[in-house]
A and B are shown apart, each in its own frame.
Chain A
């Protein structure tokens, strides 16, 4: 039993799902669902269809070259079952998967950092331009003026007191 990869979207094809198409030149194509199959029949290029993994990798939106990705490779010579090897492999798989996920997440985060900076700039310009929608320009000024006047008067009075 194997989990195959869909030719179009590179998603997993579990046993009992999807379709396989064999062409006259003996190349076989597996599809995970009719969406991918229909797109294939329409002769669409998966590298140009934005929602597929192939597009994401080809346009640099996801991590492509990394050592953690080299572990999973289709091997054509089956190995005889040996409990020790299988145990070790399963453990290694789990650890590799962790590391792979971390690295992929880091890659995407780095890509999105620029966007965060732009957001900041935008907020600042927005506030500068349109503050008048939420705050009247002299909103608190009346009170401030009053407070100032009171202070001034107080000072005058003090000065007058001093003179005396």
Chain B
């Protein structure tokens, strides 16, 4: 029904946006290229298409708006009245009417210009016609700016209206402002309406839902009504009146016994009487709220008389307190029951009932003996029904406990565990030991298995498996190990010393270096020989005799003996003298050598093969003007 359509109304664009959208759509969705030299029918067709396309877009959108918005005559009178109250029926109809007119105008414009286009004889003429057509259509829409804005606002507000089903079971709360209607609905349903000490906190209708006897009930909270004639009422109060007038509901007229709302009982009674005609066919209950502050019995005589009168007329008065929750359930059950009875009565009076009644048939089995077979109702169901009626909390919930204990409350779910021994509920259960999960070891037969294992262990130990097998090695073997270790160390030492030697250039054989006597004696001593007192040993004597006994071979006088070491044999002359006859030749050879090296040394080269260029692009050769001259030097 119209209930949910309110939310599905499409957005109404502003006039400017509407024009922009449609024109850009026309540009995108129709062909854009046309030339002067095309055939005239093609040019005409091109521009006609544009005009018709624009007209089509506008038409579609405007029709959609017209169909989306609800027609006040077609929807439920409650919503019609509500919309009238909120948006003013006349203004609404007018706005929609304007849109309709605009749509028709646009269609006419398009028709006219398409007709004219048939007589366009050049590209320029057709183009101008198209321009004119589109321009006129856009102007029409621009004139509708205010209507479109108004409709957009209406749409937004409509979509936010509470979804009240006018046909289902409803309880309606009414009364002065601040009497406790919103508190009531908060208590009875899951709604969360604002409750504040100032009047007119509730400014529109609110809906809450509750369950009773397996049925869904709506509870409608209204803004407070003040006592003045209908014409003087403002929009907010009118909403309440509309609800009262159109919804077939049980009416709960809430009165404030303690007069905290700011109006005394007489005023409240006057209001009641003035809106009484609205309660014509509806079950009525008077809710005397705020009885925790003041009971009816504590009131003065006249006030009590008021209530007595009301009861005498047959209207039920129930005392409640939304603060302490006493009487709230009573009101609920009473109102719901009476409404149900009322609705059933209405249905019975109607026409459709007979169809339903004809279809229902209760089959009663024939009694075969006198034994009484009553229906079986399990005990749990009976107790539950009782608690449902009384509506008291069955058991203490954790939440109640939490509220009771305040800051001391700790949530302890272990107390609900179902264990064999009750004392073990508070145990701290170990889960892990030394990197193993205890849960992996749990086994009903673990002790038996352990026993078997222990037996195995014993056997193994007896068999000697766990004896430490370090056979004490005999002395010889130990000595061998020590020696082997020393040998390995010595080897490593030799390798290390040979790596340390800094060898650049040609290696001299070992025999070229002179062996020092002290070094020889130290090494041999390290190897185990006795080196004390070796003055008259062969090598010591040789060392003393060396100078006087060395033999030199006879050479030519011109050759100067230059050998310094004993190991070089005298027959091999040094290289800078081999092949030279006499001193002059030697001199010449020397000069030649020096000449050959001159260039190298001057250029600072390391040797004849050194071709490295330190500075590939010296700045002084590459800068400055290149006039007549050379670049090798500047």
Hey, what's the 0/1 contact readout for B469-505 against A, CB within 8 Å counting as 1?
Answer: 1000000010011011011101100100000000000
Interface residues on A, range: 35 or more
Chain A residues 82 to 107 lying within 8 A of chain B, measured CB to CB, are 82-83, 85-86, 88-90, 92-97, 99, 102, 106
Measured CA separation A26–B434 after assembly (Å): 31
A43 at the interface (CB under 8 A from B): no
B434 to chain A, nearest CB (A): 7
Contact call A86/B429, Cβ cutoff below 8 A: yes
Size class of the contact patch on chain B: 35 or more
A67:B452 contact, CB within 8 angstroms: yes
User: Contact at B434–A97, with CB atoms within 8 Å?
Assistant: yes
B421 adjacent to A123 (CB under 8 Å): no
B474 to chain A, nearest CB (A): 12
0/1 per residue, A134-147, Cβ < 8 Å to B?
11101110110000
Residue A115 is within 8 A (CB to CB) of chain B in the complex: no
Determine whether the beta carbon of A142 is less than 8 Å from that of B530. Answer: yes
How far in angstroms is the closest Cβ of chain B from A132?
A: 8
Q: Is B433 an interface residue (CB 8 A)?
A: yes
Fill in one digit per residue for B89-104: 1 if any A CB lies within 8 Å of its CB, else 0: 0000000000000000
Which residues of chain A have C-beta atoms less than 8 A from B490's C-beta?
133-134
The B506-538 residues at the A interface (CB cut-off 8 A) are 524, 527-530
* Contacting residue for A88 out of B424, B429, B447, CB 8 A: B447
Chain B neighbourhood of A97, CB < 8 A:
434, 436
The CA-CA distance from A93 to B435 in the complex, in Å, is 12
Q: Give the segment of B31-39, B279-287, B438-446 that binds chain A.
A: B438-446
Contact A93 B429 (CB under 8 A): no
* In the complex, chain A residues whose CB is within 8 Å of the CB of B418: 80
B529 touches A136 (CB 8 A): yes
Instruction: Give the contacts of B69-128 with A (CB-CB under 8 A).
Output: none
Q: How far is the CA of A94 from the CA of B438 in the complex (A)?
A: 11
- Contact A89:B446 (CB < 8 A) given known A83-B421, A134-B527: yes
Q: Mark A1-25, 1 if CB is under 8 A from B, else 0.
A: 1110000000010000000000000
Task: Assess whether B466 is interfacial by the CB under 8 Å rule.
Answer: yes
List A contacts of B357 (CB < 8 A).
none
Whether B431 sits at the interface, judged by CB under 8 Å, is yes
Question: Are B486 and A96 in contact (CB-based, < 8 A)?
Answer: no
Q: Is B593 an interface residue (CB 8 A)?
A: no
Q: Does A162 contact B (CB under 8 A)?
A: no
Give the docked Cα–Cα distance between A10 and B450 (Å): 25
Of A46-54, A56-64, A70-78, A148-156, the one touching chain B: A70-78
State in angstroms the CA–CA spacing of A44 and B228 once bound together: 89
Give the interface centre of B418, B438, B446, B524 by most chain A CB atoms within 10 Å: B446
Asked if B435 contacts A134 (CB within 8 A), the reply is no
Give the nearest-CB partner of B425 in chain A. Answer: A81
Q: Is the CB of B424 within 8 A of A67?
A: no
Cβ-based interface call for B432 (8 A): yes
B377 within 8 A of A: no
27 of the cross-chain contacts (CB-CB < 8 Å) are A1-B431, A2-B431, A3-B432, A3-B436, A68-B453, A71-B443, A71-B446, A75-B442, A80-B418, A81-B424, A86-B429, A93-B433, A96-B450, A97-B436, A102-B466, A113-B469, A130-B487, A131-B483, A131-B487, A133-B490, A133-B494, A134-B527, A134-B528, A139-B527, A139-B528, A139-B529, A142-B530
Q: B: which residues have CB within 8 A of A?
A: 417-421, 424, 427, 429-444, 446-447, 449-450, 452-454, 456-457, 465-466, 469, 477, 480-481, 483-484, 486-488, 490-491, 494, 524, 527-530
